């Protein structure tokens, strides 16, 4: 029929949906056909167009995460994508061969993971990836100053997160000291800042009265510290309320349920896999 101007390069489902909506309304108005069911299958479309739509839906430009099957540096990316309601695929590195192949293929710009394939880019460097996702999905504030605060908060949280991340790799004799340091930093350096911020403006979110990257990372780190020190929020009523609020946001609620891409805390198997794959001395 060729009545709809359709650019096959626009493969995002959203664009597809919009295009189909325009076509549907045109076709319906002109009584040329009707829409069947709740899916986007329209019985009067020419066969080639139906086929193309089907291909595009299955091609799905979902981001693809390449990392170990565990939290590590990729977990923040999983949180952010989940909070933005972006579905993603994952490829898990189990062997050194996979990793070496990725390097030989030129997929790892600096020979390191995380790697996230997104929007035609092979992105590396965790912060670069997170900034891109935050910027794209409107989780980065509305102006430069809000971004400045989000960045400051995120960077502080990342410092705390880094301690937790490195903890399973510390030698056994240092673990007790490191655990104490994590708890000390959380309760004296980092959590007080966010408790104060929430108290001062009385809003639901850290910056600009809307959910941002900073809220999602804070939620992630609160849960991570609680896994180590369950009563860590006892002196922080604002953070307790924040945690409850965030847990109830639909996308995050879904991410916190079993079967989501959220990864469990690192265990010995995770540590040995990482060391083996990276062949770290």
Q: Give φ, ψ of 260 to 5 degrees.
A: -80, 170
For residues 177 and 180, give the distance between their C-alpha atoms in angstroms, rounded to a whole number: 5
Q: In whole angstroms, how close is the CB of 122 to other proteins at the nearest point?
A: 10
Q: In this structure, what DSSP letter does residue 69 have? A: S
Q: In whole angstroms, how close is the CB of 17 to other proteins at the nearest point?
A: 22
For residues 118 and 129, give the distance between their C-alpha atoms in angstroms, rounded to a whole number: 9
Cis peptide before 279 (omega within 30 of 0): no
Q: In whole angstroms, how close is the CB of 60 to other proteins at the nearest point?
A: 20
Nearer to other proteins, 57 or 127 (CB): 127
For residues 224 and 218, give the distance between their C-alpha atoms in angstroms, rounded to a whole number: 10
For residues 33 and 268, give the distance between their C-alpha atoms in angstroms, rounded to a whole number: 60
Tell me the HSE value of 268 on the side-chain side, using a 13 A CA sphere.
2
Q: In this structure, what DSSP letter does residue 252 have? A: H
For residues 16 and 11, give the distance between their C-alpha atoms in angstroms, rounded to a whole number: 7
Q: In this structure, what DSSP letter does residue 263 have? A: P
Nearer to other proteins, 56 or 123 (CB): 123
How far lies 271's CA from each of 102, 166, 245, in Å? Answer: 20, 10, 33
Nearer to other proteins, 75 or 151 (CB): 151
Q: In whole angstroms, how close is the CB of 29 to other proteins at the nearest point?
A: 37
Per DSSP bridges, beta strands 89-92 and 64-67 are parallel
SS3 124: strand
Where on the chain is the footprint of other proteins (CB under 8 A)? 109-111, 119, 121, 123-128, 131-132, 135-136, 144-145, 147-148, 151-152, 154-156, 159, 189-190, 193
Q: In whole angstroms, how close is the CB of 259 to other proteins at the nearest point?
A: 31
Q: In whole angstroms, how close is the CB of 229 to other proteins at the nearest point?
A: 19
Nearer to other proteins, 18 or 127 (CB): 127
For residues 18 and 25, give the distance between their C-alpha atoms in angstroms, rounded to a whole number: 11
Q: In whole angstroms, how close is the CB of 105 to other proteins at the nearest point?
A: 15
Nearer to other proteins, 42 or 65 (CB): 65
């Amino acid at each position: 029929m060729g009545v709809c101007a359709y650019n096959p390069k626009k493969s995002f489902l959203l664009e597809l949906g919009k295009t189909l909506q325009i076509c549907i309304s045109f076709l319906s108005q002109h009584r040329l056909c009707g829409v069947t069911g709740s899916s986007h299958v329209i019985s009067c479309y020419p066969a080639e167009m139906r086929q193309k739509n089907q291909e595009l839906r299955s091609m799905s430009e979902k981001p693809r995460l390449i990392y170990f099957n565990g939290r590590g540096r990729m977990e923040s990316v999983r949180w952010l994508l989940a909070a933005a309601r972006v579905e993603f695929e994952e490829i898990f590195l189990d062997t050194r061969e996979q990793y070496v192949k990725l390097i030989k293929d030129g997929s790892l710009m600096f020979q390191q993971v995380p790697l996230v394939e997104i929007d035609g880019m092979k992105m590396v460097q965790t912060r670069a990836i997170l900034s891109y996702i935050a910027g794209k999905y409107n989780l980065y504030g509305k102006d430069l100053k809000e971004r400045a605060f989000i960045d400051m908060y995120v960077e502080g949280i990342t410092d705390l997160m880094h301690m937790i991340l490195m903890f399973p790799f510390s030698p056994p004799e240092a673990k007790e000291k490191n655990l104490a340091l994590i708890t000390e930093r959380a309760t004296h350096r980092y959590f007080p800042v966010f408790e104060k911020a929430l108290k001062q403006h009385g809003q639901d979110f850290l910056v600009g009265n809307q959910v941002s990257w900073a809220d999602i990372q804070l939620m992630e780190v609160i849960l991570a510290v609680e896994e180590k020190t369950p009563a860590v929020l006892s002196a922080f009523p604002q953070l307790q309320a924040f945690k409850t609020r965030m847990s109830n946001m639909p996308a995050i609620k879904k991410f916190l349920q079993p079967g989501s891409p959220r990864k469990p805390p690192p265990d010995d198997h995770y540590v040995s896999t990482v060391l083996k794959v990276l062949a770290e001395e």
